Amino acid sequence: SSLLALSAGFANAGTLDDISESGELRACFDAGYMPFEMKAKNGQFIGFDVDLGKLMAKQMEVKYVPVNTAWDGIIPALLTGKCDIIMAGMTVNAKRNMRVNFADPYITVGQSILLNPKHEGKVLSYKDLNSEEFTIAAKLGTSGEQVIKKMLSKATYNAFETQTDAALEVVNGKADAMIYDMPFISIYAAQSKGKTTSILEPFTYEPLGWAVKQGDPDMLNFLNNFLRQIKGDGDYQRIYDKWFKS
């Protein structure tokens, strides 16, 4: 019976138990994705996901531990236990959902276009970019990349490790456009006025969700109740306004 109890104990030990025992909420993200996660000049990580993670850790009465991870390795990092949760503006999609569980979406975004100014007034929608004459940049492994492959397959696609490298291609004219999540494009376009222009109206529907390992209903239950609470009590709105209204 002790063996049975032991194995039952193992089966029940989920992410919440790990967090309680270690006293840490380790959150994976990939810094540079404005305004969700950025590295400040002093080396600290800041942003929408970071503040939500800190609030979550506070309610759990544990320490928030940021785990900055390259985007194309972020799901493996979760699955191999390098973090307890992915809080990284990850689009909920079918392919990812076959490997991880997502909590209820905490925000909805969509893809937008960062455009080299020479195309202003000529490229009016993503559809206009689906032509051999265009080179389009995106970040490796993102939903922007998927959109280019599916909807803009006639254009030349160039992949980049970071979103900043992809955006710089548009600035220096090596790429005609970059496809990425609307909040990032909106901030980047404002910061690079004159050197870029943008078509912000999202042309895809992308709920973003926090991802955890499969088979852990306790963790999902915690996350969905946390989300409902902060959406109801004003904490979510306060943090949202801090990062999205400036």
Chain positions contacting ligand ARG, by CB under 6 A: 29-30, 33, 36-37, 71, 88-91, 142-143, 181, 208
Question: Closest distance between ligand ARG and the C-beta of residue 137, in Å?
Answer: 14
* DSSP code at position 215: T
Under 8 Å between Cβ of 234 and 241: no
Question: Closest distance between ligand ARG and the C-beta of residue 212, in Å?
Answer: 15
Question: Closest distance between ligand ARG and the C-beta of residue 190, in Å?
Answer: 19
Tell me how far apart the 2 most distant CA atoms of the chain are, in Å.
74
Residue of 187, 30, 240, 211 lying closest to 105 (CA atoms): 211
Question: Closest distance between ligand ARG and the C-beta of residue 91, in Å?
Answer: 3
Which of 36, 226 has the CB closer to ligand ARG?
A: 36
Question: Closest distance between ligand ARG and the C-beta of residue 89, in Å?
Answer: 4
How many other CB atoms are there within 10 angstroms of residue 15's CB atom? 22
Residues 6+ apart with CB under 8 A from 102: 90, 92, 96, 209, 210, 211
Which of 14, 167 has the CB closer to ligand ARG?
A: 167
Question: Closest distance between ligand ARG and the C-beta of residue 39, in Å?
Answer: 12
Which of 115, 147 has the CB closer to ligand ARG?
A: 147
Which of 117, 141 has the CB closer to ligand ARG?
A: 141
Positive or negative torsion for Cα 226, 227, 232, 233:
positive
Which of 36, 126 has the CB closer to ligand ARG?
A: 36
Which of 33, 236 has the CB closer to ligand ARG?
A: 33
Residues 6+ apart with CB under 8 A from 223: 85, 103, 104, 210, 212
CA atoms within 13 A on the CB side of 109: 24
> Which residue reads 């456009």 in tokens?
177
- Residue 29 has φ and ψ, to the nearest 5°, of -155, 180
Which of 15, 142 has the CB closer to ligand ARG?
A: 142
Under 8 Å between Cβ of 133 and 152: no
Classified as helix, coil or strand, 109 is strand
**Which residues share a beta bridge with 212?**
101
Question: Closest distance between ligand ARG and the C-beta of residue 23, in Å?
Answer: 25
